[in-house]
Structures are given as C-alpha cells and as structure tokens.
Amino acid sequence: MHEAALAENIIKIALDTAEKNHAKKISEIGLKIGDMAGVEVEALNLSFEVLTSGTPAENSKLLIEKIPIRAKCNKCGKIFTLENFNFFCPECDGILILQSGRELLVDFVDCE
C-alpha cells in the first residue's frame, strides 16, 4: 500500500503547515507527481479521503499536477519528453539521462 503511506506523509506535511500558520482548516493541497513516480492517483485520493476524516484536512482537495518524464541526451545534450520508455536519443542514438519524472512533492498547502 504505497499510496496509503504516501497519503499519510502528505497529510502530515499539511497538518504541520496548518499548525505553523495557526489555521483551523486545510482547503487545498497541491502535489507534483512525476509520471514515473508510479503513483496511482485514484488510490491516493481514496487513501487521502479516508485518512483525513476527522482531521483539519477533512474535505480538503488534492490538486495534482503531473510532471512529464524528461530526459537529456548524454551525447548531443538535447532534452526530450519521454512518452514510451525509449532511453536512446532519437537524433543521435546517445543515451538519455532522466532529468525529471520521479518527483513526488507537496507544492503548496492552502489553509484557512
């Protein structure tokens, strides 16, 4: 249950933020999730809903921004967005080095 652990961490960060800001209620939590992070958004939303019940984050919204997988060629230096997992440069056959797509970040916490 990767998503449940993830939801727990997100909620912890959100609650900490709310406490620091003396807020009573959390309205929105922004997340950035890389396409390669392997997160099931539906499962995450479900865990989030269950785990926030009875906390200041109850009924808050998860706003998820997906980060595409980007890779840079180690030969020609061009940057590509990977759509299929092809790790060779389409231009020069160099090896593509992953630049982004594994992120899993809490971007912002909106509280009232």
List of residues contacting Zn ion (CB under 5 A): 73, 75-76, 89, 91-92, 94
Q: How far is the CB of 4 from Zn ion (least distance, A)?
A: 40
Q: How far is the CB of 78 from Zn ion (least distance, A)?
A: 5
d(CA 29, CA 40): 17
Nearer to Zn ion, 22 or 84 (CB): 84
- Tokens representing 106 are 């809490």
d(CA 80, CA 63): 26
Phi–psi pair at 106, nearest 5 degrees: -90, 115
Nearer to Zn ion, 71 or 111 (CB): 71
Phi–psi pair at 10, nearest 5 degrees: -60, -45
Nearer to Zn ion, 6 or 73 (CB): 73
Q: How far is the CB of 86 from Zn ion (least distance, A)?
A: 12
